[in-house]
Amino acid sequence: MKKAAIYVRVSTPDQHIENQILDLMKLAAQRGFEVVHEYSDRGISGSKSKRPGLDAMMADARRGEFGVLLIAALDRVGRSTKNCLAILEELSDLGIELVSAREAIDSSTAQGKMFITMISSFAELERSLIVERIKAGMRRAKLEGQRLGRAPLNVDRVAIVRDRLNGMSLTQVAKHHRVSRATVVRLVKEAGQREMTAAA
């Protein structure tokens, strides 16, 4: 008999989780699973990645406490595709089967594995399209003459290096030229490197 866990979630405190638990207990009995853990989150949105019940469930999953996870629906795990998929992928990597009552998904079956693979593929495609749109936007901006990245530091580099070498403290130089102490250190270091290169 496979050890199973139940995870349920409701978005508002006045909603009841008992119906979800009852239905999933019946499903477990039909499948011949032994329910060893029940996890719940009450009044917590599925968009939140950190949830006490979910976190406890994942911690036990990593310890191998159960081999099957029963849920009422995929949106009980997470409303965002990214968050939900990350959880499904980790459960799969841990060798834990997922059974979702509403969508009739069972990752131990060929159809269930195919469904999860399709979700993963669509999510990967979405990520790739986002990256490509960002790259296209950067190329367009470059062609239009827009500056990409941090603007160059518009300061008197020579004066900064001179003041520092003349004995002013880092804080004094930074305050006088309105730059950070790190910038002063970097400019002095760069000036020293240039002198060494010229001497060589």
From first to last of its 200 residues, the chain has per-residue pLDDT tens of 899 999 998 877 767 788 889 999 999 999 999 999 999 988 776 566 678 899 999 999 999 999 999 998 877 887 666 777 788 888 888 999 988 888 777 877 777 777 777 765 665 666 677 778 888 888 887 787 776 665 556 778 888 888 888 888 888 988 888 888 888 888 888 887 777 676 65
The CA distance from 99 to 71, in Å, is: 6
Same domain, 103 and 166: no
Same domain, 100 and 23: yes
CA 94 to chain centre: 19
Q: Is 11 a catalytic residue?
A: yes
Among 88, 91, 95, residue whose Cα is nearest residue 116: 88
Q: Please identify which of the residues 11, 47, 108, 128 carries the catalytic annotation.
A: 11
Q: Could you tell me the pTM of the whole model? A: 0.56
CATH number of the domain bearing residue 38? 3.40.50.1390
Domain boundary among 82, 109, 136: 109
Same domain, 12 and 99: yes
